[in-house]
Structure 1
């Protein structure tokens, strides 16, 4: 597999700082190219949200470079199980690190994380919070479920979709990295097909744009290279800003193609 990647991140029309963070890493192994793609949406006063999201990004980057190769090259039959276990354990460790810092400094801070790991024809997705992941090819599929109070109320039938869009509690998270010791990251997996496009985004992106618009603009059959991908992603972020989204906005896309990059 090889990856074509593009991203755009913006503080938005209201906030002075951008507390979002992202990661794009790939590496060539004897068993093929692997990639790790992450978006985080930090929360906390002043620069604390930036600190939380940056801490998670640095930690996951270190894991990709130092720990993941050991699993990939181990030859163990249970490689997929080990990947899932290590992903969960590492994020829980980062949760403790941020939580301890917050308690020591008497601060409340935290971050979402949506992390996509692609190994050969398999993807692993780790999710905490309300940033999202989508898989786009012949249609658009949301791979994550928002861990918010409003999403839970909607699922239980207590509010309608229209009410959910304007509910003042829509940013209230059920969990985030750094907020409580009992973190329970959701890890799923699936198959990667030639030509698939994956999109990761923070919640500042998806509130003011429809799934039809996302699919039309990010249909991988219509994206021929990274330059066009970058222009498209930037255009979508600008569209969301024109619609008066006030949050930080981050979008990361990766198109997967068969064969390894040179």
Structure 2
């Protein structure tokens, strides 16, 4: 399996700092390839969100550079992968908590990462950044760790009511500002000619699933140049609709 991939981030129209950190890379080992992508969205309501997001991203990217090749060579075991990712997350949660305590501040970040290898995808998720699979439609693979999403699952509010709920951006957990963390893990079959999208919440607040599919379906994304142009178009569309947050997206197409 081969991959096309692009990543774009934009400070947006109102923020003085871009607190999003993103990365996508292809790792090759013994003629086998894996795609690894990560989006971390530093908490805008807290201090130094960009420090938190970059710290978590850097630790996962070091893992991808140094440990992932061994997993590719030996074959990925999901339980082993979950253990390794959980260890990174818990260490970062402790580190950022101590960093904040020493400086008298609170800081935190979302974390959403996706690994694709040998016909399967594996993801880890904390917060409200998202992973989507775009194939015959737009399918959200992660659940937001927010008060509003919890109320939807409990039947307290409808999805329509949630769109205008003032609590929709309140997180139940993030890396760095939570006393304990329960990462969400996902895995499934990754078919060829499928698009995977990772994004911060700023990318998808004012964009519909129909607009995502029309611009990002696999038939549309024939090469990385087109992928970048379509992503740029959607970022500018977000800004024209007065999205206030930083805006970040990663696109990975399996071929």
TM band (smaller chain): over 0.9
TM-score of the aligned structures, taking structure 1 as reference length = 0.93
Alignment pair present for 1:194 and 2:176: no
Residue in 2 that maps onto 1:41: 41
Residue in 2 that maps onto 1:70: 70
Q: Distance in 2 between matches of 1:72 and 1:86?
A: 14
SS at 2:42's partner residue? strand
Q: What are the within-5 Å matches in structure 2 for residues 7-156 of structure 1?
A: 7-30=7-30, 32-43=32-43, 48-73=48-73, 75=74, 79-156=77-154
Q: CA deviation at 1:215?
A: 0.9
> Which runs of 5 or more residues in structure 1 are unaligned?
258-262
Aligned residue pair count: 255
Q: CA deviation at 1:38?
A: 0.6
Instruction: Indicate the larger mover: 205-214 or 39-48.
Output: 39-48
Partner deviation per Cα, 1:9-37 (whole Å, 9 max, x = no partner) = 11111111110110112111116101210
Does the CA contact (< 8 Å) of 1:13 and 1:244 recur in 2?
A: yes
Q: Distance in 2 between matches of 1:32 and 1:72?
A: 7
Q: Distance in 2 between matches of 1:11 and 1:169?
A: 23
SS at 1:190's partner residue? strand
Q: CA deviation at 1:195?
A: 0.6
Does the CA contact (< 8 Å) of 1:19 and 1:47 recur in 2?
A: no
Partner deviation per Cα, 1:56-83 (whole Å, 9 max, x = no partner) = 111001111122223333x47x733211
Residue in 2 that maps onto 1:174: 172
Alignment pair present for 1:241 and 2:239: yes
Does the CA contact (< 8 Å) of 1:113 and 1:131 recur in 2?
A: yes
TM-score of the aligned structures, taking structure 2 as reference length = 0.95
Residue in 1 that maps onto 2:227: 229
Q: Distance in 2 between matches of 1:225 and 1:68?
A: 26
Partner deviation per Cα, 1:209-256 (whole Å, 9 max, x = no partner) = 111111111111121100011000000011111111101111110101
Does the CA contact (< 8 Å) of 1:204 and 1:245 recur in 2?
A: yes
Instruction: Indicate the larger mover: 159-168 or 130-139.
Output: 159-168
Partner deviation per Cα, 1:84-117 (whole Å, 9 max, x = no partner) = 2111221221111111111121111000011001
Task: Please tell me the root mean square deviation across aligned C-alpha atoms, in Å.
Answer: 1.6
Residue in 2 that maps onto 1:214: 212
Does the CA contact (< 8 Å) of 1:205 and 1:250 recur in 2?
A: yes
Q: Distance in 1 between matches of 2:179 and 2:129?
A: 20
Instruction: Indicate the larger mover: 156-165 or 217-226.
Output: 156-165
Does the CA contact (< 8 Å) of 2:11 and 2:247 recur in 1?
A: yes
Q: Distance in 2 between matches of 1:2 and 1:94?
A: 31
Moved over 6 A (4+): none
Q: Distance in 2 between matches of 1:45 and 1:156?
A: 26
